[in-house]
Amino acid sequence: MPPAHLPERVDLEPQELSAPQSLNLSPGLNPGTSGGNLRKLLVLLVIVSAVAFTAWRIHGNLSGPASSRQGRRSGSGDRAVPVITAQVQQKTMPIYLTALGTVTAYYSVTIKTRVDGQLTAVNVREGQHVRKGQLLAQIDPSPYAAALAQAQGQLAKDKAAAAYADIEVARYSALFEAGVATQDSQQTQVANAGQIAGAIQVDKAAIQAAKVNLDYTRITSPIDGVVGLRQVDPGNIVHAADATGLLLVTQLQPISVIFTLPEDQLPQVQQPLRKGTRLEVEAYDRSQTSLLATGKLLTLDNQIDTATGTDKIKAVFDNKDGALFPNQFVNVRLILQQRPDTLVIPSAAVQTGSQGSFVFVMKDGAPKPEGSGTSPGSGKSGSGHQHQHKVAEAEAPVAKDGEAGSKPSDKATYHVEVRPIAIDVTEGSQVIVSTGLAAGEQVVIDGMEKLKNGSQVSPRKDTAKSGHKSPKGGDPVSDAISPAVDGDGIVDAHDGDANQKHHHHEQQP
């Protein structure tokens, strides 16, 4: 059995392979066989195309981000950074001490009654300016007028008694000399006359006291000042022992300011006072932007408070415009000296690096090649003559009217260089620079987050002038850092806020 079946299996295999062996790819074949081969070829082409497309996409995803980042990096390096600049000023700069002070009335008087009685009238209104001796209130004078009349009547009675006593003395003296009256009788009459003379002196004093009390019924102002709120209304009975007064009168012109200084700073104040120099004192508002008044230092207290280690100092202000008010808190600047011809920049322009303080100075033209700029560590740009540029070369024009302040100029390009500086004194929002800058140069005060040495910049239009002072004498530097205004008159926030959202700090000195 098995040998019989083996030939049959061998015969079947050639039959199944006979169909493929009969295929002929020659052009003379029938259309049905040619169409099947064409479909297989199309399927093969689709598979090859899909594989090629997938490989192309993978290659693009790997190389695309790197090239785009490189393109963006190169594009951002060529774009000018919008900044706001301020001019280096050469001016007289005050050196001062700051303190918190309290405005105090130069004179303050609580008006009280000195006699008891009914308050019949208040002759001034609240807040009225009064002069010394002006009638403020009236107390019923009737009881005191009656007391004065009684004292005057008693004086008249005692005078009549004194006249009769004088007559009796004269008569008894004559009788004593005639030997009719005894000496004791004569001396008794003399003593009676002396007692009556003493009673007359008492009556005169009582009259004077009654007149004084009668005058006290008219309450007058002891100083020039302003009347405060009324404490007692007319019709009430007032007493000399009352703790509450009728009115409060304060003198506002002149007015004083009391402030404290640490004991370590007192020698700086005492030296000019001993020479007879009265230092100038300025009073600013709570925000230290508006100058309220200017006065003179009066004196120092005679002892230091051991609990705080400070001493009280009193300054006097004319206060002609009434800008200062009693119990008002003010920021005091005690000016020690006026330093002339100093180079002053806003404190916002000062940056700090590993080599010390530096600023970004805006220069005309394209940036210098790498390595030619001055770094803060070179130490050659602080006091050399190479930084004493002309004002015309240092001043950089800003955008013209009608142009957006953030757009770079088509005709002029600018760049910044890192300039190390030496700071002499910092006064509020201003810095006195001893070396490293020249008058008229432009320093960046806003937008330096993306700056480095040689970066191209686009100066933005700044509506506030660096030398402008507010009507009340505000700090000019605080105005110079205000938002820029473009050509359309729209206030644009400075780029410092926008840059912080995608903050890529360049390496700073």
List, run by run, the mean pLDDT of 10-residue segments along the chain (509 residues): 45 42 44 70 87 81 53 54 90 89 93 94 92 94 94 93 90 87 88 92 94 94 93 92 92 94 90 87 90 93 92 94 92 90 90 88 77 42 38 39 40 82 85 88 88 85 46 40 36 37 38
CATH architecture for residues 141-216: Orthogonal Bundle (1.10)
Q: Which token pair is 268?
A: 């700086």
User: For residue 7, which amino acid is it?
Assistant: P
| Cα→Cα distances 237→60, 110, 126, 139, 242, Å | 101, 18, 20, 9, 10
pLDDT of residue 318: 93
Predicted local distance difference test score (pLDDT) of residue 355: 82
81-91+342-499 and 141-216 agree in CATH topology = no
- CB-CB contact of 248 with 136 (8 Å): no
Q: Nearest to residue 305, comparing CAs of 267, 257, 256, 263?
A: 263
- Give the pLDDT of residue 200: 93
Q: Evaluate whether 508 touches 484 at the Cβ level (below 8 Å).
A: no
CA terminus-to-terminus distance, the chain:
101
Is domain 81-91+342-499 annotated with CATH 2.40.420.20?
yes
In this prediction the pTM is 0.55
Q: What Å distances lie between residue 134 and 106, 109, 110, 224, 253, CA to CA?
A: 19, 14, 15, 9, 17
Pairing of the two strands 89-105 and 255-262? antiparallel
Domain ranges of the chain: 81-91+342-499, 141-216
Count H helices and E strands in the chain, helices first: 9, 24
